Chains A and B, each alone.
Chain A
C-alpha cells in the first residue's frame, strides 16, 4: 500500500499573549492508504491539534507534512478547501451540525461547495449517505429535534456523502451512550472495509481495539505506535 500521509519533525506551537503552548513536537508518522488508525492519550496532549493539521484545518509551526506527495505548506487556501471538501471527511465529538439547516441540508452542505455536481446528483448522494447511517426517515428534521446518537449519525453521513478518501474522527463517540457509540463505530468499520483511510481520536479502549494501529501521544509527542495485536490483553478486556 502506498503512503498517503508523511509527517516529519512536525511541530505546532500556539502563542497566546505571553504563553507559548507546545501542542505538538517532533511528530514523525507515516499513514498508508486504507489504514485504520486510532490516536489516544490524555486530555490536552495534542490529539485534536494533530487531527486539525492532518485535515488542513491549521498549519504547522515547523517540520513537514506531505499529503499525497504534496508538501502541505505549499498548498494554497483555495486548494486546501478543495482537498477538505473532496478528500477529507470530518466527524466531531460535538457533532457540529448547523442548527438552521435540516438533516438533508446539513448532509448536502459539503456537496454544495463542489462545482461539478448537479442538484439531482447531490440529492442522490445525500439519500445514499443518509440510508447508510439509517437516517433516511428524518431528512426534514432539524438537529435540535434529534437525539445525540441520531445527530452523530447525521454528522457521519455528512462526512461520507462526498466519498472522501480520509475520515478524521475526533472522539466521535465521546458524547454518545454505548449503544449509539457501537452504531457509529460499526459505521466506521464499514467505511474502512470499503477502503477509506481512517484516523480516529478516542479514549475508549473498545473503540481503539477496532483499529489496526494505535498511536499514543503524551504531552505533544508520540510515545507509542503499535499494531492492535500488540495491545496488552488486560486493556483489551477492560
Chain B
C-alpha cells in the first residue's frame, strides 16, 4: 500500500516537472545507451566464445620472431613436426595451411582462398557437410585420389547448385580433382573458407630452410592452462633454437585463443579502454542525475525536516525519494536498451564496411541475453547510486538545525561540501576521459594522414598468383610480368605499370639479416629488416625518391650479383656511418647470398602507421633477380583508377587464363580498409568525447549555477557590505579554481596514465598539445560555468538579491 502510494507520488512529481524529468532522463539515457552498446558490442565480438563444445579449449599456436608476434600460417613445418612430437598439453595438436587456389572451368578462372586441412580440423569445428562427406585422413595419403570439398558459394557459382555435384571433376591449380562434398556457407572456421583440400605438406625431403609455413592449432587437455601451454612451448622452442641456431634464433611461440589471434593482442587494451570510457560516462551521468535529485531534495530540505520532526521514519522518507530515481532510471533504461539495440543492429549491418576483414563467424552483434541481464544490473545499480545517496544525505541532516538555521541564502554546509565534491569528480572524470578519447582520435587522425613514403592516390592494385606447375622457371615468370606490363601500358588511362610483393601499408616479410663484416658472436642476435621484392620501375611508379646511389636497372639481372635498394631507416639502424653504397648484407635462413646495397630511398611504411612499423627498416630487392609467383600489380592511372578495373581483369586473363587478378582495388581503398578497424574505434571515441564533454559541461554548469543561485542572497549581502562586481567575481572564481585544481591534479595524471597504457599497445601517441589543450578546455568550461551565472546574479540590484528566496 505504502509502496504503491510512494510510486504514485514519485510519478506525479516527475510529471509535474517535465523539464527536470526530460533532462534527467536524457542524461541517464545517454550514459546507459553508450554503456549497454559498448558492453554488448565487446561481448559479441572481442569476448565472444567459439560456438563449439571444445570452443573454450581451442587455441592457435603462433610464432614470435624477433619479438614480433605473428599470426596466420606462422610456424615452419619442421618446427611444427618437432613440436608435435614433444608437446604434452594438448588432446589435438595439428596444422593446416591456407593458400590461394585457382579454379578453371572451360570458360573462366577464379581464385579462392583454400584451406589444406586434416580430419581433426573438421572434428574440432563440428563441421557438417551440406552434401557428400568431409575430408578424411585417408585423402591425405600418397596415391589417394585427388579430392576437393567445396563451399556453398562455389557450388552455386560453378555448378549452379547441382544436387549431383558429387563425383564431378574440378580443375584446381591445374590438376583435375573430384568433388566429394559441399560445405554450407555458414561454416567459416577459423575464417572464411571456400574450398578445402587435404593437407599434404610435410618436412620429408625438404631442407629446413625451405620449409613451408603452416598454421598450427590445438585443443588443450582439460585442466591445462594457457600459462602451462605457453611455458611448454617456450621450453621446446628454446631447445630448437639451440639445435638450429641459424634458423631459429630469436624465435619462440605462444598459444592464443582463435579470437585473440585474429583480433591481435591490442584487443584487450582497446576493449578495456572502451569499457573504462563508457564506465566513466555512465558515472558522469549518475553524478549529474544524482546531483539534480540531490539539489531538489535540498530544496525540499525544510519540508523534510518538518516531516522528520513530525515523526516520519527515515526509511520511509528515503524510500519515497528512491522511487523517483528508480522511475527515472527505469524509463531511461528502457529507452537505452531500445537505442542500444537499434544501434547494434545498425553496426551489425555495417560490419562489412567497418572491418578490413570479413567479420568472424562467432560474432553476432546484437543485444544478447547476457547483455540485457548486464543492462538490467547496470540500471539497478545506477538507480541505487543516483537515488540512495541523495536520499540518505537529504534525510540525514540534523533536522533541528535545518529548522532553526536563521542564516540566509546559503546551502547547508554539507550540501555545499557535496556540490564541491561533485564538481571535482566531474573534472577528474571528464579530464581523464577527454585525454584518453582525444588521444585516441588524435592518433588515429595522425595515422590517416600518415605519409607512407610513397604516393597512394591514383593507383589500382590487384594480386596475381601464377600457377606453380606452368611457372616453374624464372624466365617464364619474368616473361609473364613483362607481357602484362607491355599490354596494360598500351591501354588508355594507364600511365605506368609495376609490381611489388608488398604494398605500402601492408605488412612485409620481416627477416633476420647479417651485415658483412659484423661479428654477431656465438649465440647470434641478428638485426632484422623488411624485405620487399619490386619491379625495377616501382620507385618511379610509386614516387619513392632516390636519395643516394642508383635504383635497379638492366644491370640487375637473374645471373648478376644480388643488389638491394634500402631505406633511410635501414641505414640508420644497421650502419654507424652514412656511406653505405657498396656495403653488403644477407638474409639469414635463406639460400640467397650477399646483397650489395646500390641505393638509398626515403622510408616507406609497411604495415599500419604505428610506431613499431614506422621505425622498421626495409630492403627492396629486385624482381628480375628473384621472380616470385605471387605479386601485386599496381597501375598508376592518369584518370580515375576505378575505371581501369575491367581493363585490368580482362588483360590479366588474356595473358594467363589460370592467373586471374584478384583483390582488385585502389591503393587508397586498400589503405582505408586496413585502417578501418581503428577508424571505427576512433569514431566510437569521438562519440565518447562528445558525450563526456556534454555531460561534464552540463553537469559542472548545473552544479555551479545551482550553487550560485542558492547564493544570490549571499551575493546581495556581500554587495551590501561593499563588495563591488570584481570582488564578487573573484570570490566565486577562487572557489571554482580550487575545485578545478584538485580535479586536474587527480584527472590529468589519470588521463596521462591511460594514454601511456594505450601507447604501450602502440594505439595512441601522447601529445603535449592535448595534455595542455584538454585541461585548458576544462578550465574554460569551469570559468564559464562560474562567470555566466555570477554575471546574471550581478544584474540584480543588491536589494533584490537580498530579498531573493
Interface residues of A (CB under 8 A from B): 48-49, 52, 55, 57-59, 77-78, 81-86, 88, 90, 92, 94-100, 109-110, 113-114, 142-144, 148, 151, 158, 162, 175
Are the C-beta atoms of A144 and B405 separated by less than 8 Å?
yes
Residues 705-727 of B contacting A (Cβ, < 8 Å): 713-714, 716-727
Q: In the assembled complex, which residues on chain B have CB atoms less than 8 Å from the CB atom of A110? A: 721-722
Residues 443-488 of B contacting A (Cβ, < 8 Å): none
The 16 sampled A-B contact pairs (Cβ below 8 Å) are: A52-B797, A52-B799, A78-B725, A82-B724, A83-B722, A84-B719, A85-B721, A95-B406, A96-B408, A96-B802, A98-B407, A98-B717, A99-B413, A110-B721, A142-B413, A148-B406
Q: In the assembled complex, which residues on chain A have CB atoms less than 8 Å from the CB atom of B727? A: 81, 113
Within 8 Å of chain A (Cβ to Cβ): is B505?
no
Are the C-beta atoms of B800 and A81 separated by less than 8 Å?
no
Are the C-beta atoms of A85 and B722 separated by less than 8 Å?
yes
Q: In the assembled complex, which residues on chain B have CB atoms less than 8 Å from the CB atom of A83? A: 722
Among the listed A77, A82, A95, which residue makes an inter-chain contact with B407, where contact means beta carbons less than 8 Å apart?
A: A95
Are the C-beta atoms of A100 and B416 separated by less than 8 Å?
yes
Among the listed B401, B404, B718, B797, which residue makes an inter-chain contact with A109, where contact means beta carbons less than 8 Å apart?
A: B718
Q: Which 10 A-B pairs have the closest CB atoms?
A: A85-B722, A81-B724, A52-B799, A99-B407, A110-B721, A57-B799, A58-B799, A57-B798, A99-B410, A84-B722
Nearest A residue to B407 via CB reads: A99
Q: A48-B799, A100-B410 are in contact. List 19 more A-B contacts (CB 8 A).
A: A57-B716, A57-B797, A58-B799, A78-B724, A81-B724, A90-B720, A94-B408, A96-B407, A96-B717, A99-B407, A99-B413, A100-B413, A100-B416, A113-B724, A143-B406, A143-B407, A144-B405, A151-B406, A162-B722
Complex Cα–Cα for A108 and B409 (A): 19
Interface residues of B (CB under 8 A from A): 401, 404-410, 412-413, 416, 713-714, 716-727, 797-800, 802
Are the C-beta atoms of A84 and B720 separated by less than 8 Å?
yes
Q: In the assembled complex, which residues on chain A have CB atoms less than 8 Å from the CB atom of B717? A: 96, 98
Complex Cα–Cα for A76 and B395 (A): 46
Q: In the assembled complex, which residues on chain B have CB atoms less than 8 Å from the CB atom of A82? A: 722, 724
Q: In the assembled complex, which residues on chain B have CB atoms less than 8 Å from the CB atom of A86? A: 722
Complex Cα–Cα for A52 and B802 (A): 10
Q: In the assembled complex, which residues on chain A have CB atoms less than 8 Å from the CB atom of B407? A: 95-99, 143-144, 151
> Distance in Å from the Cβ of A182 to the closest Cβ of chain B?
19
Complex Cα–Cα for A142 and B717 (A): 17
Among the listed A57, A94, A113, which residue makes an inter-chain contact with B406, where contact means beta carbons less than 8 Å apart?
A: A94
Nearest B residue to A52 via CB reads: B799
Complex Cα–Cα for A99 and B738 (A): 20
Are the C-beta atoms of A113 and B722 separated by less than 8 Å?
yes
Complex Cα–Cα for A175 and B406 (A): 10
Complex Cα–Cα for A55 and B800 (A): 13
Are the C-beta atoms of A113 and B797 separated by less than 8 Å?
no
Among the listed A57, A88, A158, which residue makes an inter-chain contact with B802, where contact means beta carbons less than 8 Å apart?
A: A57
Complex Cα–Cα for A57 and B717 (A): 10
Nearest B residue to A59 via CB reads: B797
Among the listed B401, B721, B723, B724, which residue makes an inter-chain contact with A90, where contact means beta carbons less than 8 Å apart?
A: B721
> Distance in Å from the Cβ of A130 to the closest Cβ of chain B?
16
Chain A CB within 10 Å — which of B724, B727, B800 has the most?
A: B724
Q: In the assembled complex, which residues on chain B have CB atoms less than 8 Å from the CB atom of A148? A: 406
Are the C-beta atoms of A58 and B410 separated by less than 8 Å?
no
> Distance in Å from the Cβ of B305 to the closest Cβ of chain A?
13
Nearest B residue to A98 via CB reads: B714
Q: In the assembled complex, which residues on chain B have CB atoms less than 8 Å from the CB atom of A85? A: 721-723
A-B CB pair tally, cutoff 8 Å: 95
Complex Cα–Cα for A158 and B720 (A): 11
Nearest A residue to B417 via CB reads: A100
Complex Cα–Cα for A113 and B412 (A): 25
Complex Cα–Cα for A25 and B724 (A): 29
Q: In the assembled complex, which residues on chain B have CB atoms less than 8 Å from the CB atom of A151? A: 406-407
Complex Cα–Cα for A83 and B722 (A): 7
> Distance in Å from the Cβ of A12 to the closest Cβ of chain B?
10
Complex Cα–Cα for A229 and B358 (A): 103
Are the C-beta atoms of B401 and A57 separated by less than 8 Å?
no
> Distance in Å from the Cβ of B693 to the closest Cβ of chain A?
31
Are the C-beta atoms of B721 and A113 separated by less than 8 Å?
yes
Q: In the assembled complex, which residues on chain B have CB atoms less than 8 Å from the CB atom of A175? A: 406
> Distance in Å from the Cβ of B792 to the closest Cβ of chain A?
16
Nearest B residue to A92 via CB reads: B802
> Distance in Å from the Cβ of B719 to the closest Cβ of chain A?
7
Q: In the assembled complex, which residues on chain A have CB atoms less than 8 Å from the CB atom of B408? A: 94-97
Nearest B residue to A78 via CB reads: B724
> Distance in Å from the Cβ of A63 to the closest Cβ of chain B?
17
Are the C-beta atoms of B797 and A158 separated by less than 8 Å?
no
Q: In the assembled complex, which residues on chain A have CB atoms less than 8 Å from the CB atom of B412? A: 99
Q: In the assembled complex, which residues on chain B have CB atoms less than 8 Å from the CB atom of A84? A: 719-722
Chain A CB within 10 Å — which of B407, B717, B719, B799 has the most?
A: B407
Contacts known (A94-B406, A97-B407, A144-B407); A58 close to B724, Cβ less than 8 A: no
> Distance in Å from the Cβ of A67 to the closest Cβ of chain B?
15
Are the C-beta atoms of A99 and B405 separated by less than 8 Å?
yes
> Distance in Å from the Cβ of B437 to the closest Cβ of chain A?
37
> Distance in Å from the Cβ of B677 to the closest Cβ of chain A?
53
Q: In the assembled complex, which residues on chain B have CB atoms less than 8 Å from the CB atom of A142? A: 413
Complex Cα–Cα for A65 and B693 (A): 50
Nearest B residue to A12 via CB reads: B799
Among the listed B405, B406, B797, which residue makes an inter-chain contact with A58, where contact means beta carbons less than 8 Å apart?
A: B797
Among the listed A77, A95, A158, A162, which residue makes an inter-chain contact with B724, where contact means beta carbons less than 8 Å apart?
A: A77
Q: In the assembled complex, which residues on chain A have CB atoms less than 8 Å from the CB atom of B721? A: 84-85, 90, 109-110, 113, 158
Are the C-beta atoms of B724 and A144 separated by less than 8 Å?
no
Nearest A residue to B714 via CB reads: A98
Complex Cα–Cα for A152 and B567 (A): 85
Q: In the assembled complex, which residues on chain B have CB atoms less than 8 Å from the CB atom of A48? A: 799
Complex Cα–Cα for A84 and B717 (A): 11
Complex Cα–Cα for A66 and B412 (A): 41
Are the C-beta atoms of A58 and B720 separated by less than 8 Å?
no
Chain A CB within 10 Å — which of B408, B714, B716, B721 has the most?
A: B721
Complex Cα–Cα for A19 and B346 (A): 56
Complex Cα–Cα for A144 and B798 (A): 24
Q: In the assembled complex, which residues on chain B have CB atoms less than 8 Å from the CB atom of A114? A: 722
Complex Cα–Cα for A48 and B800 (A): 11
Are the C-beta atoms of A57 and B719 separated by less than 8 Å?
yes
Complex Cα–Cα for A97 and B716 (A): 11
> Distance in Å from the Cβ of A46 to the closest Cβ of chain B?
12
Complex Cα–Cα for A109 and B727 (A): 11
Nearest B residue to A164 via CB reads: B722
Chain A CB within 10 Å — which of B714, B716, B718, B720 has the most?
A: B720
Q: In the assembled complex, which residues on chain B have CB atoms less than 8 Å from the CB atom of A99? A: 405, 407, 410, 412-413
Chain A CB within 10 Å — which of B718, B722, B797 has the most?
A: B722
> Distance in Å from the Cβ of B404 to the closest Cβ of chain A?
8
Nearest A residue to B398 via CB reads: A144
Q: In the assembled complex, which residues on chain B have CB atoms less than 8 Å from the CB atom of A90? A: 720-721
Complex Cα–Cα for A97 and B717 (A): 8
Nearest B residue to A83 via CB reads: B722
Q: In the assembled complex, which residues on chain A have CB atoms less than 8 Å from the CB atom of B416? A: 100
> Distance in Å from the Cβ of A66 to the closest Cβ of chain B?
20
Q: In the assembled complex, which residues on chain A have CB atoms less than 8 Å from the CB atom of B726? A: 78
Q: In the assembled complex, which residues on chain A have CB atoms less than 8 Å from the CB atom of B413? A: 99-100, 142
Q: In the assembled complex, which residues on chain B have CB atoms less than 8 Å from the CB atom of A97? A: 407-408
